[in-house]
Chains A and B, each alone.
Chain A
């Protein structure tokens, strides 16, 4: 017990201890701001991996660690698309994942946002044209925000989410 308390006291508050990232080059559709209005204080995300190399997943996970702590801005991760306000999609959409992506989109309740995370999700990146890949996310579901980067840093993702929520210009 004392060991745990001592550890916590020694560690202190680590939230926010990360280098500021440069302005993200994320592009948003004209309607994205309007669609994001209901989620200004609370945005629940379902992450869908449609064929990424798992670096984007690692950065999404990092978003929830004590250092970035996206929860402090009202960003949560849901276990099911049915509980989500936004889908964050990573990776080029593979032939085998196409159906699963569409189904996840269909089961997400309206109003909803789709965020394409990383170069692969935006334009298939290195896997463009491959027989195993059907195209970028926007070919299958409407995309509201595109976050480039391979992978984008957690600070960048956080920046984009905050901008989307209107918590940041």
Chain B
């Protein structure tokens, strides 16, 4: 217990002494500033130290021009126990465009560092894979949209270029390209399989077809007007994204959200989790051609979406969250309606579960398919439903309570098998848990206002971070204020961005016909990933 006395920051001070330039605490998050050359060493220490075991949660850059001539790189780690945040920061001054890569030590950084290169033109030296990520090859050289001098409405030209896929060569090895347009009603993305016979030897995911420039568009908004944009980052996670954004802005504005609003936020977040999970359970079964379960699943999903519509006027719960609270209040009779509907639904769903589990041929398709082992999941920082199916015991609702989760105890579903069935089981357990939480909300919700007026304006350069456990997993928002309530920088991180690379490992050794099934069990967002 002695070691518990030293805080993570003190540990870093003891280990690195004068390499640490500065230490500060902002909104409860310790910020440790180091020279850029020392980042890999310090990051590696935080990542591997037995008492810290930091997981890289987010890595992003900020362009501080025109006021200061520097770029800032920020590395957000989530420590193991207690699950607190630790932020490492380093500056790139003047014309400096190079920074040392941490990817060789910390796998989870690989896409982030490629993203920073594309968006800012900053190059991670020593990164094993510096191909373009967001910018496809036809984007002109030198296009780095998040640099401040790049106008948001630039019309891009075109150049010639081709993405260099990784090839496996040998007798009987075939490549199967799939996408960007897929067979079902789903979003665009490209998958390149290398197969020898039936088993998949390699999968390469090529995404960012839907890149709309969301992060740049945030910079056209003020802190309070950007909520509708957050709702359209990934449409199926409307509440999750808008809530994460609102929380960050509320921290900046010093707003204390009323308790009633916090309970309503939990209610809407759980409704969103419910309709997505219900749809997914059915859709996973559908990808094994078990359409009966799909019909029931999509029927129940529709039931919740119609309930959403009756409660808020939007099937996707749009316009519910706003900075300072919520825009929709519910009368007591409405709560009774919700709980009565969910009671019926739970009975209905339990019967469906029995039908699904009684089906041996279905179980046979789901078990051991798309196995993601715990080690790979840890290395990639995999989170959410996918993580919890591979024994990653993380849930923001429990670890960093937000909304009303400090008073609602969340029981986290955890499985260790890491296959499609485990991911379906996590969803099933979470459906029951969401229904229980909504009952709790009805029992405990206090009366009072649902909105708090802003009390202060943030100083330019002030920032806040916020996390929300959306139905897919942890959604992170970093918001930095600019002049007069404008947004200087908004970094959006959907859990999909972290989980997509992991799917490349989960499919290995499986057959291509099982890929849709595995993909469905991950059910990641393309829009939230591509931004």
- On whether the two chains bind one another, the answer is yes
B186 neighbours in A (Cβ, 8 Å): 49, 57
A7-B351, A65-B298, A153-B315 as given contacts; A130 in contact with B212, CB under 8 Å:
yes
Q: Does B421 contact A (CB under 8 A)?
A: no
Per the bound structure, the CA–CA distance linking A48 and B183 in Å amounts to 10
Are B213 and A132 in contact, CB atoms less than 8 angstroms apart? yes
A7-B351, A94-B212, A132-B213 as given contacts; A62 in contact with B180, CB under 8 Å:
no
Per the bound structure, the CA–CA distance linking A24 and B396 in Å amounts to 40
Which residues 174-220 of B have a CB within 8 angstroms of A? 180-181, 183-188, 208-213, 216-217
Q: Does A29 contact B (CB under 8 A)?
A: no
Nearest residue, chain B, Cβ from A3? B355
A7 neighbours in B (Cβ, 8 Å): 296, 351-352, 355
Per the bound structure, the CA–CA distance linking A7 and B151 in Å amounts to 58
0/1 string, A127-143, CB within 8 A of B gives 1: 10111110000000000
Are A4 and B355 in contact, CB atoms less than 8 angstroms apart? yes
Per the bound structure, the CA–CA distance linking A94 and B292 in Å amounts to 37
Q: Does B7 contact A (CB under 8 A)?
A: no
Per the bound structure, the CA–CA distance linking A53 and B217 in Å amounts to 14
Q: Does B59 contact A (CB under 8 A)?
A: no
B234 neighbours in A (Cβ, 8 Å): 53-54
Nearest residue, chain A, Cβ from B151? A131
B212 neighbours in A (Cβ, 8 Å): 51, 92, 94, 127, 130, 132-133
Q: How far is the CB of A87 from chain B (nearest CB, A)?
A: 10
Residues of chain B at interface, number, CB under 8 A: 58
Are B292 and A4 in contact, CB atoms less than 8 angstroms apart? yes
Question: Which of B208, B216, B302 counts the most chain A CB atoms within 10 A?
Answer: B302
Q: Does B136 contact A (CB under 8 A)?
A: yes
0/1 string, A82-94, CB within 8 A of B gives 1: 0000000001101
Are B183 and A80 in contact, CB atoms less than 8 angstroms apart? yes
Are A96 and B209 in contact, CB atoms less than 8 angstroms apart? yes
| B-contacting 9-mer, from A11-19, A33-41, A159-167 | A11-19
Are A94 and B210 in contact, CB atoms less than 8 angstroms apart? yes
0/1 string, B141-173, CB within 8 A of A gives 1: 000010000111111100000000000000000
Are B210 and A49 in contact, CB atoms less than 8 angstroms apart? yes
Q: Does B34 contact A (CB under 8 A)?
A: no
0/1 string, A38-73, CB within 8 A of B gives 1: 000000000111111111111111101111100000
Q: Does B316 contact A (CB under 8 A)?
A: yes
0/1 string, B308-330, CB within 8 A of A gives 1: 01000001101000000000000
Which residues 102-138 of B have a CB within 8 angstroms of A? 136, 138
Question: Which of B153, B209, B229, B235 counts the most chain A CB atoms within 10 A?
Answer: B235
Q: Considering the complex of A and B, which 8 residue pairs feature the smallest CB-CB distances, nearest first?
A: A55-B235, A132-B213, A79-B183, A53-B235, A65-B298, A130-B213, A53-B232, A129-B153
27 A-B interface contacts by CB (under 8 A): A3-B355, A7-B351, A14-B299, A18-B306, A49-B210, A55-B232, A57-B186, A61-B185, A66-B299, A67-B298, A77-B184, A94-B209, A94-B211, A95-B139, A95-B156, A95-B211, A96-B208, A96-B210, A96-B211, A100-B209, A127-B212, A130-B217, A131-B145, A131-B151, A131-B156, A131-B216, A133-B212
A interface residues, Cβ below 8 angstroms from B: 3-4, 7, 11, 14, 18-19, 47-62, 64-68, 77, 79-81, 91-92, 94-97, 100, 104, 125-127, 129-133, 150-151, 153
